[in-house]
A and B are shown apart, each in its own frame.
Chain A
Amino acid sequence: MQGFPWWPATASDYASRIDFLFGALLVVALLTAGLVFFLLLYFANKYRHTSTADRSGTTRKTWRFEVSWTAATLLIFVALAVWSASFYLRLYNPPPDALQIFVVGKQWMWKAQHPGGQREINELHVPAGQDVRLVMASQDVIHSFFIPALRIKQDVVPGRYETMWFRADKPGRYHIFCAEYCGTDHAHMGGWLTVMEPRDYAGWLRGQGGQQTLAAQGEELFRRYGCSGCHEPGGTVRAPRLDGVFGSPVPLSDGSVVVADERYVRDSILDPKAQVAAGYQPVMPTFAGQVSEDDLAKLVAYIESIGPKQAGAR
């Protein structure tokens, strides 16, 4: 046993702010509980059966008390709701130039793919002080990517991309857990987040051996799966060109417009008839069951690399 740990490791500025919010809630809770417990014990003692305390005021109107404590409780609760929600919005606004890492969860491991093509399992290396955005998919059941030291987690639901972003400031090694029950070895589906000084991180990237970038691997797959046959000039079928598409609005045949983010690209590969670009026939076959989550990440990275700018999706 290793003593009494009272507070989790704190690896980011965001985590410190969450601790502050938690501390503030703790103060509210302690004051409320303190008041209730004090009154309970005070009344219990003063008005015990055998005491001779004065009990002459029992017929007072009670509604004044009711209205006051209802109003006070309501005001405090609404203030807490609004204040805490303001922190939460930040999680939905990833900075545009974040380092993007693809993460795939499967029973019972986490696999990560870096933009440079580096791969790791149950380990995640990131540079300190830089925004990192995780694009996550699950190959089987729901998992949840949880880093206590950053105070963030996100369920990874099969069939769609989920994203999460953070900026770790303090170099060190921190737990990664799977927080959504996922079967036999749920408790062992975890690993370590290693936050490194940018210089050390660059060294670590180099030490992973020379491989193609994720986008380059994606370009290869783009040809191997035959995507280029239609989506590049001179194709046999009229299909939309994909350069410059990523991150920009795409008009659909049903009149709506979507922004081409990771989720849209992924869905278009697996379920092409769901969102057909305006002016094109729904002739593309589905690739569901043929492309693994790892390869999907590469294809998405390739489409992203030929887009004009980074997407600011979720």
Chain B
Amino acid sequence: MHAPHRSSYLNAEIGLRSWLLTTDHKRIALLYFAGITFFFAIGGLAATLIRLELITPQGDLGSPDFYNRLFTMHGVIMVWFFLIPSIPATMGNFVIPLMIGARDLAFPRLNLLSWYLYIAGGLITVAALLLGGIDTGWTFYEPYSTFYATGYIILAVFGIFVAGFSSILTGLNFIVTVHKLRAPGMTWYRLPVFVWSTYATSLILVLATPVLAMTLLMLLAERVLHVGIFSPQLGGDPLLFQHMFWFYSHPAVYIMILPSMGVISEVVPVFAGKRLFGYEFVVWCSIAIAAIGFLVWGHHMFVAGQALYASLAFSFLSYLVAVPSAIKVFNWTATLHEGWIRFDAPMLYAFGFIGLFTIGGLTGLFLAALPIDVHVTDTYFVVAHFHYIMVGGAVMGYFAGLHYWWPKITGRCYPEYWARFAAILAFFGFNLTFFPQFILGYLGMPRRYQSYPPEFQIWHVLSSAGASILAVGYALPLFYLFWSILKGARAPANPWNATGLEWSVSSPPPAENFAVTPAVVRPPYQYDQGKPCMQADHG
């Protein structure tokens, strides 16, 4: 490995100890990156086995119990140990202090503690899954989880409980940082949209995660001590569990997608060489999504036996929460108008995001329609819908951000053509994997089935074929990004002609971020005929 030619956060200190005890937000971001990549690989391995199993109608890759453990593992790992921390904990950690002109997050040691909690929770959960797994599904529905499920449920639930504290502390850290550590001149309306999105996400993390923690504690109390809360056998109410679970888990969907929307709001104006269309609207849509997102949890329960009037209200509110998302899509599209558009890898991922998120959002309208939901809920239609949002949306956004900030993070350029190829491959692989699942769902194929009637097979075969392409699309960056660290060309401070403060410091940034606190003089994304006007005049 070449020695970097000058001092940066990467070589300010050396040795394993300097990494594991670091309080530098940039190094903690890399620690998260390592953890998240590890858990993504485990979750992806489970997904691979699921798609292999489903190529044939009969169950042939292990027992039904093995399959049930596979999809539980896939869901638990991907939701809590990849999607929820993914963008905020890696890119948020890295760029938010840089974007607002701060030295670090408000509580650097708390930040390190968050990472340890995340890793501890993750390892506890993975241990539970390796010791024999759990067969509850990631939703832990009651009374199944108390009396009927087998395996290391207590351990797995405890792991998720621990990781929840990591979420809460990270959210708290971001909120305080954005309030207190903005550089002079960095007013709220001069904040890059990524900061706003992460701020909105942090509000949800802080307000919703405690409800998950309480719910999981109650589940443990019932399973271990037989305190009757959710199980009718003990005088409890199974629907109470669903209400509490979705009160967290629906907002959690916005924890996953809002940061991605933030990334896209950065990438689109930069690669269009033009200011973001309707900045204030995009910003307030993030806050609206975070707020209304708390009022739609009941749309997971339209056939669960919830009251008629509750369902009517939740359906209406679900349509309402879709409005700000639609507005964002329109604004991104309008930003392209009269731009100077370049098609580098981050922009290709952003295009992929907008396309897939649009499909995911529009199919959400089908699910919000009560009688359609009655037919397609708990089928592959729902599976396809939320993968379009969480994989097509959130993961595409993750890769867009990763490619966008990679030169800043590592100080190296990756091979552009390989990156574009991977973006296009992932887009087509994704559609081939998940579009057939919409059709399967409307045909009536229920989810969480190891075996299925033979007439559904062709769509499953197409889906599995797509998954193999998608897997290559996701694996490629691992290789060329690693290659770039060793052999990639040195990245300049501002390779994309962006305007944010993070691009006014060198790549990789110095340990202290800014030698002098920058003075912010204008809003983000200001361009003059496609030429960037930096937010701070010096840096």
Contact = CB atoms under 8 A, between A and B. Distances in A.
B366 A58 contact: no
The 6 lowest CB-CB distance pairs between A and B, nearest first, are A148-B444, A159-B232, A84-B369, A88-B370, A43-B336, A187-B449
Contacts of A18: 371-372, 375
Contacts of B238: 142, 157-159
Nearest to A22: B372
Contact of B336 (A40, A152, A153): A40
A167 B480 CA distance: 59
Given A22-B442, A186-B449, A33 B455 contact: no
Contact of A141 (B143, B273, B277, B446): B143
B345 to A, nearest CB: 15
8 contacts: A18-B375, A43-B336, A66-B281, A80-B369, A92-B308, A146-B378, A159-B232, A160-B305
B475 interface: no
Contacts of A6: 439
A21 B379 CA distance: 18
Interface in A47-94: 47-49, 53-55, 57-58, 62-63, 65-66, 69-70, 73-74, 77-78, 80-81, 84-85, 87-89, 91-92
Interface stretch (B23-31, B313-321, B426-434): B313-321
B132 interface: no
A268 interface: no
A29 B363 contact: yes
B261 to A, nearest CB: 15
A57 B457 CA distance: 53
A16 B529 CA distance: 55
B147 to A, nearest CB: 8
Contacts of A74: 320, 323
A88 B371 contact: yes
A39 interface: yes
B49 interface: no
Contacts of A63: 278
Interface in B364-401: 365-366, 368-372, 374-375, 377-379
A161 to B, nearest CB: 10
Contact of B374 (A33, A152, A159, A184): A152
B144 A142 contact: yes
A153 B377 contact: yes
Interface residues of A, number: 80
Given A141-B148, A144-B303, A178 B446 contact: yes
Nearest to A25: B366
Contact of B144 (A28, A155, A182): A182
Contact of B444 (A48, A146, A160): A146
Given A21-B371, A183-B144, A183-B148, 13 more contacts: A37-B358, A40-B351, A47-B339, A49-B340, A65-B330, A80-B368, A85-B316, A88-B374, A141-B148, A154-B303, A159-B238, A175-B453, A181-B137
Contacts, number: 248
A1 B461 contact: yes
A153 B311 CA distance: 15
A298 B529 CA distance: 80
Interface in B326-378: 326-327, 329-331, 333-334, 336-343, 351, 354-355, 358-359, 362-363, 365-366, 368-372, 374-375, 377-378
Interface string A175-192: 101111111111110000
Contact of B365 (A8, A29, A37, A183): A29
Contact of A37 (B355, B366, B453): B355
Contacts of B329: 36
A5 B372 contact: no
A157 B371 contact: no
B303 A25 contact: no
A154 B303 CA distance: 5
A208 to B, nearest CB: 27
Contacts of B444: 8, 146, 148-149, 175, 177
Given A47-B272, A175-B444, A153 B371 contact: no
A81 B148 contact: no
Contacts of A89: 308
B374 A153 contact: yes
A5 B443 contact: yes
Contacts of B303: 144, 153-155
Contacts of B320: 74, 77
B65 A77 contact: no
A22 B374 CA distance: 12
Contacts of A80: 319, 365, 368-369
A88 to B, nearest CB: 4
Contacts of B452: 187
B31 to A, nearest CB: 35
A285 interface: no
B511 to A, nearest CB: 35
Interface string B455-495: 11111010000000000000000000000000000000000
B443 A3 contact: no
Interface of B: 59, 64-65, 68, 135, 137, 141, 143-144, 147-149, 232-233, 237-239, 272-274, 277-278, 281, 303-305, 308, 311-312, 315-316, 319-320, 322-323, 326-327, 329-331, 333-334, 336-343, 351, 354-355, 358-359, 362-363, 365-366, 368-372, 374-375, 377-379, 439, 442-444, 446-459, 461, 529-530
B321 to A, nearest CB: 10
A44 B311 contact: no
B359 A158 contact: no
B458 to A, nearest CB: 5
Given A44-B336, A187-B450, A73 B371 contact: no
Contacts of B530: 49
Contacts of B137: 181
A126 to B, nearest CB: 18
A36 B374 contact: no
A62 B370 contact: no
A43 B453 CA distance: 45
B336 A77 contact: no
Contacts of B443: 5, 7-8, 148
A69 B327 contact: yes
Contacts of A141: 141, 143-144, 147-148
A48 to B, nearest CB: 5
B371 A40 contact: no
Contacts of A200: none
B59 A187 contact: yes
A151 interface: yes
B305 A87 contact: no
Contacts of A29: 362-363, 365-366
Contacts of A185: 64
B372 A21 contact: yes
Interface string A1-13: 1111111100000
Contacts of A39: 333, 336
A32 B322 CA distance: 13
B372 A25 contact: yes
Nearest to A160: B305
A83 to B, nearest CB: 8
B412 to A, nearest CB: 24
Contact of B355 (A22, A40, A85, A175): A40
Contacts of A131: none
A162 interface: yes
Contact of A55 (B304, B312, B338, B369): B338
Contact of A148 (B326, B375, B439, B447): B375
A183 B68 CA distance: 8
Interface in A231-290: none
